[in-house]
Amino acid sequence: MKRLLMLNGPNLNLLGKREPTIYGNSGLEEVETELRELLDVHGWGLSCFQSNHEGELIDHIHKAEGQFEGIIFNPAAYTHTSVALRDAISAISVPVIEVHISNVHNREPFRRESLLAPVCWGQIAGLGTIGYKVAAQAFLEAEK
């Protein structure tokens, strides 16, 4: 069975509980359920992992090699800081789509820079949690 991995970085466990004007009302579990439903229609599986710890995210990226068709990754604040996550993505052959719920381009200037985007297949920002589904659609289309 073809499978995707959804990874979410620090503080995204608070999704739907705080700052709804920026990040919306849906919780992470709801996002995971909707994504699983979408993939299920196409006979694909989904694994999900959220962590507030950089090393745990790196471990999951390493373990994804050979296991998944793609990774949907919201690295949260690590997007703007983590050379280690960039190196982990570079070290695997599984394609990664970077997803941001908010429009990182109309917020503070430091959010405009992603250290990870240059080593990802693509980047989606500003579509709210719909962005995760758009990323899944891209992987489905690419595998047709």
Span interacting with ligand CA2, options 6-14, 32-40, 56-64, 116-124, rule CB under 6 A = 6-14
Question: Within a 13 Å sphere around the CA of 139, how many CA atoms are in the beta-carbon half?
Answer: 30
* CA 117 remoteness from chain centre: 12
Closest CA to 26 of 135, 106, 101: 101
Residues 73-112 touching ligand CA2, rule: CB under 6 A, are 74, 76-77, 79, 100-102, 104, 111
Q: Confirm whether 62 is a catalytic residue.
A: no
Residue whose token pair is 């970085």: 9
Do the beta carbons of residue 27 and residue 16 sit within 8 Å? yes
Q: Is 100 labeled as catalytic in the residue annotation?
A: yes
Q: Which of 12, 46, 61, 117 binds ligand CA2 (CB under 6 A)?
A: 12
The catalytic site residues sit at 23, 100
Chain residues in the site for ligand CA2 (CB under 6 A) = 11-12, 14-15, 18-19, 23, 74, 76-77, 79, 100-102, 104, 111
